[in-house]
Amino acid sequence: MNIPTINLARTGTNIVMLRKAAGLTVHDLQMAFGFNSPQAIYKWQNGTLRCRL
């Protein structure tokens, strides 16, 4: 069985690209997800944290 792997760097690049294409800021995402801090979003974008929603 092949288990898919997640490329965190590529995922982060995609998050940035899609966020910008939608005209959203990191703060906009922070508010949409109800986060107290934008740090998780910055870490997603940098590929240092896997998204868990």
**Successive 10-residue mean pLDDT values, the chain, 53 residues:** 89 97 98 96 95 76
Predicted structure pTM score: 0.84
Is 35:41 a contact under the CB 8 Å cutoff? yes
> What is the pLDDT at residue 1?
78
> What is the pLDDT at residue 10?
96
> What is the pLDDT at residue 53?
66
> What is the pLDDT at residue 28?
98
The CA-based angle 14-18-7, given to 5 degrees, is 15
> What is the pLDDT at residue 2?
87
**DSSP letter (8 states) at residue 7:** -
Longest dimension (CA), the chain: 40
